[in-house]
Structure 1
Amino acid sequence: MKRLTIRTRLTLVYGGLFLLAGILLLGATYVLMSRQLSNRESTAVLDAQTFTPEVDILKEVAEETRTDALMALLVQGGLALGLVAAAAIAIGWLIAGRMLQPIDQMTRAARRIADSPGSDRGLHERIALDGPPDEVKRLADTFDLMLERLDHSFDGQRRFIANASHELRTPLTLNRTLLEIAVRRRDVSVEVRQLGETLLEINSRHERLIDGLLTLAKSDRELGELSYVDLADVVTHVAAQHPTVATSAGEAPTMGNAVLLERLVQNLVENGVRYNVPDGWVQVTSGTRPDGLVELVVTNTGPVVPPYELPGLFEPFRRLATDRLATRMGAGLGLSIVRALAHAHGGHVHAEPRGGGGLVVTVSLPVAGLPRKQASGVVTGQDLRDHRSST
């Protein structure tokens, strides 16, 4: 059951209390007036007994008069109470809205920050609420203090990423250059060349690890300018680098960063190829779902994956228990980067074991904005081509 808003509840409380007070006041007035009329009726009857013998008629007239007066009091008082109660409810609605306006201001600020494309965008905003130092003002000031600390934290993270990128890549690049020079010398022995090639492979793996860490750190941040991207084109491009990968690339238009989306697809494909069995297969499909999402599905015939291992596969440096010491495997960041990139684009990723071994990884992203006539109907390929050509 949907709960009422705070403004509605405050209005009902104000109106209810006012109506209850009015009913009590009307009831008290009725009782007091009834007693007053009864006293006057008794006095009038006693006075009339000294002048006329028709006391019964006077009693009847006095009783009818008292009844009519009390009935008029109830009817007219009830109508007046209803009108004033309606006015009180309307005024209570306005007052409640005015009192809750600072909270609405904080809600709008929080929503703008939450809806920003990157997790560190909008943190420079402040509520800066004006007003007396009451509970709402203290809440707004606390929220501003939290935003300021988060802004400083993300700013420090940006500086750390920039420094780490330089400090970690420079020695690895230097090592790779020296090793390449050493193994390409004509007088180098076979043992030294083999050792150099092994060290080059280890150095290359460390470079991929650093690139993956930097991508993972940046993927939840600023996406930059969003553009129209058809995942079918990305799937076709990435699959061309892996001839053994089968594709079924249906049109899947979305808005995002083309480079990061290519990295998402590439990580999924490389993960499917790397964690496979001999003579296995990898299939990549893309398309548009009726619920307004585009879908990318990567399936492979790898080893059997226990269901309880699935959540850990999307955590950094996590692999299957049997693969953690395998040097030919990756750094354990592929699916972590996929999840971070999917979240940065407003989507989500889901994995489930494939019967007989392997994984089925599904990435769902919001469909790109289409013309109004297509909003509630089936999107055809020609419609998407027309929309893509117009953008």
Structure 2
Amino acid sequence: MRPLAQRLQPTIRVRLTLVYGGLFLVGGIVMLTLTYLLAKNNIQPDRPAGVTAVQIERTAAPGEANPATPAPGKVYTSRQAVYTANQTKGMLLKAREDSAQQTLDSLLTQGGIALAVVGAAALGLGWFFADRALRPVHRITETARRVAHSRNLTERIAYTGPRDDVKELADTFDMMLERLARAFEGQRRFVDNASHELRTPLAINRTLIDVAVRRPGAGEDVRRLGESLLIVGDRHERLIEGLLTLAGSENSVVDTSPLDLADVGAHVLDQAKAETDGRGLTVRRALDRAPTEGDPVLVERLVQNLVENATRYNVDGGGVWLSTRRSARLAEVVVANTGPVVPAYEVETLFEPFRRLRSDRLRSDRGTGLGLSIVRAIATAHGGTVTAVPREGGGLVVTVRLPSAG
């Protein structure tokens, strides 16, 4: 699960939308500011410093010294007339200033509303065009997801757009798929050829040694030598079988069928009954339904390796526990055993090929060191996981989780 800080980060589509909308809003604010300043300079009246004298024409009435209003027929200068004229002109100027301010305020208000509406529309258009711009990338992502889930390396993006960065990315991805397909095909052919070329000579050697040992005139030394060679040959066969299985199981599983881990576990325990009884091991099973899908041969090999590992690395008279269950969307198989104490820091190294506990590295009769490596490879090929923890008192508890069916 991703950290919270990563999950809260906006996607590239959201970032592109914010960039488009932000650039438009900044441009709109700049345009609105320039329009406001230009309008203010053009419609704002200049206030005069004052009026010094006004000539007013009128016919003066008898005895009137300071007429309040001008009249035609008489030209004279009066302080009252100057005051009245200045007051009238000030009122006109104030009216013009109020009208200009109202115009500027209206420009700001209506322009801001229009900018907000168009800005919201710009965000919507940015969201739409960001999706159009990222559509080729989505196509690449969908193709990669289908290849990862279907394991079909023959599928290609085949992008036919203009030669730009997106087409270069798509062509590079197609080239990578082509190389992966060739690599997997080469590995599959190698495993098939090696399986035939390695098993056939070992089978012939086993037959020849068995014939030589069973001859009527074979001496005791020949029989002992033959038995030793058969033991060595058997170990080589198991080693080669493990390597071939490991190489084959690392590829993705293509052909799957429904199966139940409980049935597989019961079948494996029945096959291992002779070996567990021979060592006096107590086997306990708790097999609940655990439906999954996979390659039946590989899944059986997975459970078989777990049981063989629990039996081989055990103490005489010890115990082996095998349980299966269904948990949420997972089918689980758990195998535990008694045995030597496993240090916690060495648990992870047991899943590496040819790695065993220090006390078992010099003993060839304990196996090839590939059992848990094969288990992890098979589980990974089926989309599952493997975990192991030391068991209290000695031994190991290995848990395999596979995707549940249904």
Q: Which TM-score band applies after superposition, normalised by the shorter structure?
A: 0.7 to 0.9
Runs of 5+ consecutive residues of structure 1 not aligned to the other structure = 370-391
Partner of 2:97: 63
TM-score when normalising by structure 2: 0.84
Q: Distance in 2 between matches of 1:29 and 1:217?
A: 73
Over residues 69-103 of structure 1, what are the superposed CA-to-partner deviations in whole Å (9 max), with x where a residue is unaligned? 11111122112212222222222222211111111
Say whether residues 1:361 and 2:398 are aligned partners: yes
The alpha-carbon deviation at position 112 of structure 1 amounts to 1.3
- Between the aligned partners of 1:178 and 1:26, the Cα distance in structure 2 is 98
CA distance in 1, matches of 2:182, 2:404: 34
Shift of 1:246: 2.1
Distance 1:320 1:241 in 2: 26
1:17 counterpart (9, 13, 23): 23
Compute the displacement of 1:279 (Å).
1.7
How many residue pairs get matched?
Answer: 360
Q: Which amino acid aligns with 2:99?
A: T
**275, 282, 306: which one pairs with 2:313?**
275
Matched letter for residue 97 of structure 2 = E
Whole-angstrom distance in 2 between the partners of 1:246 and 1:197: 35
2:139–2:157 CA contact under 8 A, matched in 1: yes
Pairing 1:101–2:135 present: yes
Alpha-carbon spacing, 1:179–1:55, altered in 2? closer, same or farther (3 Å) = same
In structure 2, C-alpha distance between the alignment counterparts of 1:293 and 1:154, rounded to whole Å: 28
Shift of 1:242: 2.8
Q: Residues 76 and 197 from structure 1, CA distance in 2 versus in 1: closer, same or farther, beyond 3 angstroms?
A: same
- Post-superposition shift, 1:42? 4.8
Larger radius of gyration: 2
Spell out the pairing of 1:307-318 with structure 2 (5 A cutoff): 307-318=344-355
Q: Does residue 356 of structure 2 align to residue 322 of structure 1?
A: no
- In the alignment, what sits opposite 1:206? 236
Spell out the pairing of 1:1-391 with structure 2 (5 A cutoff). Answer: 1=5, 2-39=8-45, 42=47, 53=85, 54-116=88-150, 121-243=151-273, 244=276, 245-289=283-327, 291-369=328-406
CA distance in 2, matches of 1:143, 1:368: 32
What is residue 378 of structure 1 aligned with on the other side? none
Change (3 A) 1:50 1:66: farther
RMSD: 1.9
Q: Shift of residue 29 of structure 1?
A: 0.9
* AA partner of residue 260 (structure 1): L
Deviations 1:136-192 (A, max 9, x none): 222222222222222221121112112211211111111011112112222222221
2:323 partner letter: T
CA distance in 2, matches of 1:354, 1:347: 22
Residues 182 and 50 (structure 1 numbering): CA distance in 2 closer, same or farther, change over 3 Å?
farther
Distance apart, 1:133 and its partner CA = 2.3
Could you say what secondary structure the match of 2:157 adopts? coil
- Cα distance in 2 for residues equivalent to 1:238 and 1:175: 29
Q: Deviations over 1:90-147 (max 9, x none)?
A: 222222111111111111111112223xxxx322222222223222222222222222
Q: Give 1:222 deviation, angstroms.
A: 4.4
**8 Å Cα contact 2:184/2:251 also seen in 1:** no
Structure 2: any 5+ residue segments left out of the alignment?
A: 57-83, 277-282
Distance of 1:50 and 1:30 partners within structure 2: 39
Stretch moving more, 136-145 or 168-177: 136-145
